[in-house]
């Protein structure tokens, strides 16, 4: 299946430059396993970046900058940007490297309330981004919310709809802190999504804001 919702150009440029956060890098790589168009855009951004570097005056690079860039490139290295691997799971290889090859149904889920469960994916300690799997039951409405920073959502199975469109397997929702929405999972199939976030969601409901530290998102 080919994705119909793609990464924002700014996200692709940040990925090519090695400045995208760790969680967002893994989410972007997961989407690109489904999306030849975004893979091609990333290759073009990398080619452009290489040309600009070749034309620029030489300048010393700090150890911190070098380490951050190498870590970002490792997260989305070419061998991890290929099509999904054949395994017991139906998710791309880059994500299987983090969660294992078990089917999505067999992951250890933490129930957050009626219709929704999560699975936190460990990343490098001290990082500023967070990567989480969500399992959302058919017909469930995620409470209306905004974002404290950028958010990437990749659909692994099932589908949902919000004011920005209809998202199916392989699609990515690439939102900034100015967007508020209320995703509604389509009837008929449980929706599994990968979320990369920079900061907790901003829920409109006062009750949810009070419970948010307990819910963890």
Name, in order, each residue with C-beta under 8 angstroms of 50's C-beta and a sequence gap of 6 or more: none
User: CA distances (Å), 53 to each of 17, 56, 95, in order?
Assistant: 11, 5, 31
Distance CA 132, CA 128 (A): 14
CB atoms within 10 A of CB 126: 5
Residue that terminates a domain, selected from 76, 98, 120: 98
46 & 132 share domain:
no
72 & 134 share domain:
no
Q: What's the domain range around 129? A: 101-215
Q: What SS3 class is residue 71? A: helix
Assign residue 41 the CATH number of its domain: 1.10.10
74 & 114 share domain:
no
Alpha-carbon dihedral of residues 3, 4, 9, 12, nearest 10 degrees? -10
94 & 119 share domain:
no
Q: What is residue 113's predicted lDDT score, i.e. its pLDDT?
A: 84
pLDDT tens digits for 27-61?
Answer: 999 999 999 999 999 999 999 876 655 555 555 55
Distance CA 23, CA 26 (A): 5
Q: What is residue 79's predicted lDDT score, i.e. its pLDDT?
A: 44
Residue that terminates a domain, selected from 71, 98, 125: 98
Per-residue pLDDT of the chain (217 residues; tens, 9 = 90+): 678 999 999 999 999 999 999 999 999 999 999 999 999 999 999 998 766 555 555 555 556 555 555 555 555 544 444 444 444 567 899 999 999 999 999 999 999 888 999 999 999 998 889 999 999 999 999 888 777 789 999 999 999 999 999 999 999 999 987 788 899 999 999 999 999 999 776 665 655 555 555 555 5
91 & 121 share domain:
no
* Domain-located, residue 82: yes
* Domain-located, residue 3: no
Both tokens of 163, joined, read 């004011």
**pTM assigned to the model:** 0.79
107 & 206 share domain:
yes
How many domains does the structure of the chain reveal?
A: 2
* Domain-located, residue 4: no
């Amino acid at each position: 299946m080919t994705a119909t919702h793609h990464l924002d150009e700014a996200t692709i440029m940040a990925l090519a430059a090695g400045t995208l956060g760790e969680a967002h890098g893994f989410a972007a790589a997961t989407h690109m396993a489904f999306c030849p168009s975004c893979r091609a855009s990333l290759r073009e951004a990398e080619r452009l970046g290489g040309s600009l570097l070749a034309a620029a005056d030489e300048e010393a690079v700090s150890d911190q900058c070098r380490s951050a860039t190498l870590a970002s490139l490792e997260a989305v290295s070419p061998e991890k940007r290929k099509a999904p691997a054949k395994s017991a799971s139906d998710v791309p290889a880059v994500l299987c490297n983090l969660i294992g090859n078990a089917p999505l149904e067999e992951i250890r889920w933490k129930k957050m309330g009626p219709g929704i469960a999560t699975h936190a994916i460990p990343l490098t300690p001290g990082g500023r981004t967070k990567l989480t799997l969500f399992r959302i039951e058919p017909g469930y409405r995620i409470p209306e919310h905004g974002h404290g920073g950028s958010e990437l959502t990749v659909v692994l199975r099932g589908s949902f709809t919000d004011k920005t469109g209809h998202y199916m397997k392989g699609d990515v929702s690439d939102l900034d802190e100015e967007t508020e929405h209320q995703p509604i999972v389509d009837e008929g199939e449980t929706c599994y999504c990968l979320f990369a976030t920079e900061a907790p969601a901003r829920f409109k409901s006062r009750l949810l804001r009070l419970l948010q530290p307990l819910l963890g998102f």
